[in-house]
Amino acid sequence: MNSDTGRVRELNLYRRYFDLVAAGVKTVEVRVRYPHLADLGAGDVIRFRVKGTEETCEVTVERVTEYPDFASLLDGEGPANVNPAATRERQLADLRAIYPPEKEALGALAIKIERRSAVAARAVDEA
């Protein structure tokens, strides 16, 4: 537990997505609605790690929204928030390459995130 926020979760992230999160331009992370993410909520912290490295980036969860599938999620959240470097069609293909149909059938989670350093800087500015 972190004393000033919710729980801290560690999740792996592919390098190409990690770099977008670290730059603060990817503001929605997409995950399948796995049971271990069912209680993820606003105020929680996610520590993303590039798999196989010690490189991490922390974000604060602003909200979690459930969708029936990836297409609905991209339409609801806006593709530029999920990956500003790829078209909607490319993102849909990439998500389906990562998660097979039986995983997508579990439902999709849109996790609205903000870099922790950005959150801290805004709190100082508002003080």
pLDDT score of 24 more than 60 = yes
Query: How does DSSP assign 67-96, residue by residue?
Result: ESSHHHHHHHH-HHHH-TTS-HHHHHHHHH
Question: What is the spatial distance between Cα 109 and Cα 65, in angstroms, rounded to a whole number?
Answer: 6
Q: Give the three-class secondary structure for 76.
A: helix
Confidence bin at 126 (pLDDT 50/70/90): low
User: Are the CB atoms for 61 and 109 separated by under 8 Å?
Assistant: no
Query: For residue range 60-117, what is the model confidence (pLDDT) as tens digits?
Result: 999 999 999 999 999 999 999 999 999 999 999 999 999 999 999 999 999 999 998 7
